[in-house]
Amino acid sequence: MVMSSEFVPFDRTDIHQLRDFLLNQRRVSGWTQEELSERSGVSVRTIRNLETGSNTNPRRTSVALLLSALGAAPAAPSEAPGWDGSCWPALPDRQPEPAHAPQRASTLSPWQGPRPQRDPLVGRQADMRHVLAAAQRSRLVILTGSGGVGKTRLALAAAARLRPLFREGVAVAELRDCPPEHLDPVRTRAELTRVARELVGEPATASGDSGSTGRRLVVLDGAEHVVQQTARLARRLLDAHPGLHLIVTSRRALASGSAETWEVEPLPVEGHEGQDGRDAAVPGAVELLLRRVQAGLPLLDLAHHLPQVHRLCRLLDGVPLAIEIAAQRLRSLPLSSLLDEQTLFHLLDQADTGGLSAHRTLSESVRWSYDLLPDQHRELLHELVALPDGFSLEQVLTARPARRLGMMRVAHLLAELADASLVQTHRERHYTYRVHALVRHVVAQTTRPAPELRADRVPVQSRAAARITRERPVPAGR
């Protein structure tokens, strides 16, 4: 029922739940009361009074603004039990910080491995809310998505915000140097075991003896070429260490029934109308490009070229890595030169990704996934790039490989390509599929496999093997 009063009446239980939720979420976010005040527009005094419980009759607008800033949907008074703090792990016992209290780095739990980037995530509020909640519901969270979509960056940013919940700290391991499991399973298993030992100590023993029980968060980054063995390792580690939580990033989902999986999608390229029906929100892809240009080229004003900026982001399918590289290219090339879809990715491929990716170029990021495919998967992918966006399974079945391989085999191959994040699935009433423009570009530049190759014949993927053995610094995020 909608209430006319400006204030929200809470009983003692409700106000305690609201207080606990605000306090825990603010600490998980790593914000001071002043920072929350800046983000929400609610005064520091109101926040302090809510957290101490002295304000038992808050304004409806204040509650809505605070919940919005903390990434929660405003709830009606009848939905107050949804704020129940019992579903959130207990944070270290600390009193609310007084105003202007300095943050003490010594109270933070240790961090091992690559750290998140300092600049804010753009367009990932919904993803962050889900990952934060999933990591507290489940001990195994898997982030999937295509190359360059931002899985690593989201995982590291989420780990930083979850850090106060894990007294033994956060550890991050890059799995890119592990050999592909189908090429050398023995070496893969040995490398993963070594990584696990460095992060959490000895793995579980055959007798089932448990390891440490302290709360620790581990991020395993880039597991798409070792998904089966990573899934086995995750089960062993979680059994051996009751206080351990895992976040795994992979272009291919892990087969684990106990995991929560979240698909990280490209940033939106189309805006949505505001509540007044006139003002449109800036799409996340456009905001990212504008932010990067402002940071690297502060004198370049794109305010009068927003339609062209939108078009560029659409051509890039909202993929963050491609947008970051496009912003770099604007240092030497005009915006108009990047609006030709026939030459766009050729121009972007000439730029080094630097610390943005583990791969040297944008196309190399896609070739990493392509090189891991068996030949029949590659052959079908070459057929799919010729289809228009939004194709159906029925359209795929009419392609040349389908007539030779049969319906069941083609459906399986299509599902495998989708699982490898090379084909995007739109799950509506009728499933449709599309291949991102960057994948189309890479496949078009790649020699098509001979059609007579057998489904069970997997080529020696020398390019993929060469990439994982090449020394390179671990990027801050992907």
Domain residue ranges of the chain, discontinuous segments joined by +: 12-86, 111-263, 284-351, 373-460
Cβ atoms within 10 Å of 463's Cβ, excluding its own: 12
Place of tokens 């194709």: 391
* Each residue's pLDDT tens digit, 119-150: 888 999 899 999 999 998 899 999 999 999 99
Assigned CATH for 373-460: 1.10.10.10
Using CB atoms within 10 A of its CB, is residue 34 exposed (0-12), middle (13-18) or buried (19+)? middle
pLDDT in tens, 14-29: 667 777 778 777 877 7
Residue ranges in 12-72 assigned as alpha helix (H): 12-29, 33-40, 44-52, 60-69
How much of the chain, in percent, has pLDDT values that exceed 90? 44
Could you tell me which residue, 276 or 287, shows the higher pLDDT? Answer: 287
Q: Which residue has the higher pLDDT, 461 or 420?
A: 420
What does DSSP assign to residue 101? P
Q: Do the domains 373-460 and 111-263 match in fold?
A: no
Which residue, among 324, 427, 449, has the nearest Cα to 374 in the 3D structure?
449
Average of per-residue pLDDT across 31-55: 82
Give the strand pairing for 260-263 and 424-426. Answer: unpaired
Task: Pick 111-263's CATH classification: 3.40.50.10490, 3.40.50.300, 3.90.650.10, 3.90.550.10.
Answer: 3.40.50.300
Specify the CATH class of 12-86 in words.
mainly alpha
pLDDT at residue 113 is higher than 70: yes
